[in-house]
Amino acid sequence: MIRTCLFFFLATINVIHTQNSIGLRALATLRGLTLGSEAPVAYLRGDADMGQYISMLKQNIDLIIPASAFMPTHTWMNENQYNFTDTDWLVGSTPNTTGWIQQNRMLVKAHALIWGKDYRVPTWLLEQEASITPAKALSLLSDFIHTIAGRYRGKIYWWNVINEAISDHNQTTAFNLENSFWYRKLGADYIKYAFIFAREADPNVKLFYNEYSIEHGGYKADNTLALLKWLKSEGVSVDGLGMQWHISTTEVITPGDAHYQIAQQFIDLNLLVAITELDVGMKTNGAYPADPNDFIKQAQIYRSMFQYALHFYPNISSVATWGFTDRYSFVSTSSNYTRGNALTLDCQYQPKPAFWEVQEELGRVLADGLYKISPISQPDHCLGTTSNNTNSTLQLYADSCKNTNEQWNVTWQKDGTYRFSPQNTIESALNAYNASITIGQVGTTQWTGDTNQEWVITPKGNDTFRLGPRNAWWRVLTVYNASIIAIVDDRQSDLQYWTLTMI
């Protein structure tokens, strides 16, 4: 179903972009981040919107959270009875088979083995609760987790083992846990056992606890900290904490504030932290924003979220949104259309201001200007063209590097990439040829704005950068055989890193 949402005219808020973005997936990967989104299996299997859904997903996302597909209410039909139709299609039913995820070179986060709330416990379990002893409940828990996590062993990037177990209201339970079926049968130990069984079922998968309304600290965050400390003290294998981040345009995230402080407390427990369900809703009248300026506020918040993730990297290396287009966001329907427009793409899959701000944060890592470019392996040399013609080959020069053919204008293209133009022929640009073959070529040609003339830049510290062609962004510009400039696979070698010094 296509939910009602806003088709808005960006000119009304003075933000217009027509650039063909390289996509957030490439830029996030180059910064070391895994970028995820909730994506229901039904939309993938049904090729929603004549392929546009999958096309935009693959351009901007590399980690899929398949909504309810792995949830016990979807897979656990009764004792020893399971429905694996969607999950088998997604990842393959046996170790030697593949599913949509592998075929599209993506990752999957399975969400979630156990929920802390009764409304996500299978109905048949609740109906039989009176006759189920604690010993039987433990056996059922073990059977379910070993069955589903074991079936997909080695195919899941991470499991949310426990989801939303801590109550929003004061309880008399340990760690203020929800008084759910599993707590009534096993107490807080159900969480411990769930992690133990998940680790037994898949020794190498990442295991996370996932919770909402803890990103700013406070009572619920304190209980989450206490729970995770207890699990650690019990020797339980917990790899990380997922913070959901369902927030609004009133949120302010500033370095050093409560958001940063609580994240650091979880990191100090030797836990990974992940942003797992980010959306930034705004007040709406039906589908329309109550204040059009909220699009700018939203954009600033999205950018600050990626600044937050990069600040804590590698302890935070994953950012996932709950959906990626307003066309299929739950925010509007769950709030009776009083909030909405919460994601980075609008209903027509067009980038919103938030998209462009995230792109800038991930991709714009160097100020426009005139630069000398030197390989780390030969810092006394600089990159230059061999002629004053528009079409030229390249070489390394060992001189003062003050000649115009040894100086480069570096310009942000507003699509996630840069243009490199030699100062001696400003109308030309660095160009990649056959960038995907074993040894790709590079030179300069007349600037036409083609994608093979655009480059991604990734910071490596100390004014050192990785340079890659847009049309093969996973590869790098390198010094090959001591003097040849070429494009090859990324081996993270000094031959493949460059110092860019502004002139």
How far apart CA 358 and CA 41 sit, in angstroms, is: 26
Q: In angstroms, rounded to a whole number, what is the distance separating the alpha carbons of residues 216 and 397?
A: 53
DSSP SS3 for 1: coil
Distance (Å, whole) CA 362 – CA 360:
6
Tokens of 230: 């207890």
How distant, in Å, are the alpha carbons of 13, 34, 56, 469 from that of 354? Answer: 13, 18, 16, 25
Is a pLDDT exceeding 50 seen at residue 457?
yes
Is the predicted pLDDT of residue 466 greater than 70, yes or no? yes
Is the confidence at residue 100, as pLDDT, over 90? yes
pLDDT tens figures, 403-433: 999 999 999 999 999 999 999 999 999 999 9
Summarize pLDDT for 105-142 with one digit per residue, the tens: 999 999 999 999 999 999 999 999 999 999 999 999 99
Instruction: Say how far apart CA 138 and CA 146 lie, in whole Å.
Output: 12
Structure-token pair, residue 292: 């059009």
- Categorize the per-residue pLDDT at 13 as very low, low, confident or very high, splitting at 50, 70 and 90: very low
Active-site residue set: 164, 277
Percent of the chain with pLDDT over 70: 96
* Bridge partner residues of 458 (DSSP): 466
Indicate the class that CATH gives domain 369-502: mainly beta
Angle between helices 258-267 and 294-312 (to 10 degrees): 30
Over residues 60-82, the mean pLDDT reads 97
Question: In sequence order, what DSSP letters do the residues of 347-400 get, joined into one string?
Answer: TTSPBPHHHHHHHHHHH--S-SEEEEEEETT-TT-EEEESSSSSSB-EEEE-S-
427 burial type by CB count under 10 A (0-12 exposed, 13-18 middle, 19+ buried): exposed
CA 210 to chain centre: 16
CATH superfamily of 62-244: Glycosidases (3.20.20.80)
pTM of structure: 0.95
DSSP state of 71: S
Q: Is residue 396 over pLDDT 60? A: yes
pLDDT given at position 463 = 87
Domain chopping of the chain, boundaries: 62-244, 369-502
Q: Does residue 337 or residue 103 have the better pLDDT?
A: 103
Q: What is the DSSP letter of 3?
A: P
At residue 61, the pLDDT reads: 98
271 pLDDT more than 60: yes
Residue 435 is encoded by which pair of tokens?
């960038």
Other CB atoms within 10 Å distance of the CB of residue 481 = 9
